[in-house]
């Protein structure tokens, strides 16, 4: 049985959920951001127990199709932005999401907006800005390198978008000492 799980945003989340499910007596067939295939199939009482134990850890079981699709979109965006390199990919998120979810992008966009009160495009920008904040804090890359790594056409484009979202230029953010990063799952 596939369990769909909200708020899984990193490899550590996968590890925690896997451990919790194994501790509950289930064998993990596969686990990725947002889902886990387990055996044997849990009954209603076990589902309730799994739901309660995951909720204590900040996760939630997703039980309807619309929420599953929206969470899948989020997981794909997070995976692409935070766990891969966007440089030179010339990635069209609309094509990427449509291909991976196997649904028309217009449908996905409408469903996402209705559920999240924001657009997919704004969600992508928010995720990118959080990743840029992280890269700025590390201090290992300059602005041109960050812009290239994040798939921006220029550091000027990145800087303008960063300022419109945060109110700071990247350099102001870096020297301000105010590390106002958001958790990925809170965006």
Mean pLDDT value across the chain: 91
More confident call, 178 vs 6:
6
Please say if the pLDDT value at position 9 is more than 80.
yes
DSSP 10: S
pLDDT above 80 for 91: no
For 4, the token pair is: 């769909």
In the chain, where the domains are located:
2-61, 65-187
Residues 140-181 pLDDT 10s: 899 999 999 998 989 999 999 999 999 999 989 888 766 677
- Candidates 21, 19, 39, 18; CA nearest to 29 is 39
Is the pLDDT reported for residue 84 higher than 90? Answer: no
Distance CA 36, CA 2 (A): 6
Confidence category of residue 87, pLDDT binned at 50, 70, 90 = low
pLDDT of 47: 95
Burial label, 129 (beta-carbon count in 10 A; 0-12, 13-18, 19+): buried
What span, in angstroms and rounded, lies between the C-alpha atoms of 97 and 81?
13
> CA-CA distance, 58 to 128, in Å (whole number)?
23
- Which CATH architecture does the domain made up of 2-61 adopt? 2-Layer Sandwich (3.30)
3-state secondary structure of 168: coil
The pTM score is 0.81
The CATH class given to the 65-187 domain equals mainly alpha
Task: Using the predicted structure, report yes or no on whether residue 24 has a pLDDT greater than 80.
Answer: yes
* Predicted local confidence at residue 176, as pLDDT: 78
């Amino acid at each position: 049985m596939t369990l769909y799980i909200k708020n899984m945003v990193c490899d550590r989340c996968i590890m925690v959920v896997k451990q919790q499910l194994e501790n509950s007596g289930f064998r993990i067939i596969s686990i990725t951001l947002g889902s886990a295939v387990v055996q044997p199939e849990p009954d209603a009482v076990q589902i309730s127990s799994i739901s309660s134990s995951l909720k204590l850890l900040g996760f939630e079981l997703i039980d309807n199709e619309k929420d599953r699709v929206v969470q899948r979109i989020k997981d794909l965006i997070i995976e692409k932005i935070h766990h891969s390199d966007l440089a030179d990919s010339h990635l069209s998120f609309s094509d990427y999401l449509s291909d991976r979810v196997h649904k028309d992008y217009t449908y996905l966009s409408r469903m996402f907006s209705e559920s999240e009160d924001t657009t997919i495009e704004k969600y992508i920008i928010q995720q990118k800005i959080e990743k840029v904040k992280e890269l700025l804090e590390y201090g290992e890359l300059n602005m041109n390198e960050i812009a290239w790594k994040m798939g921006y056409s220029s550091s000027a484009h990145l800087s303008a978008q960063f300022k419109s979202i945060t109110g700071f230029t990247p350099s102001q953010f870096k020297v301000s000492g105010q590390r106002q990063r958001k958790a990925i799952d809170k965006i």
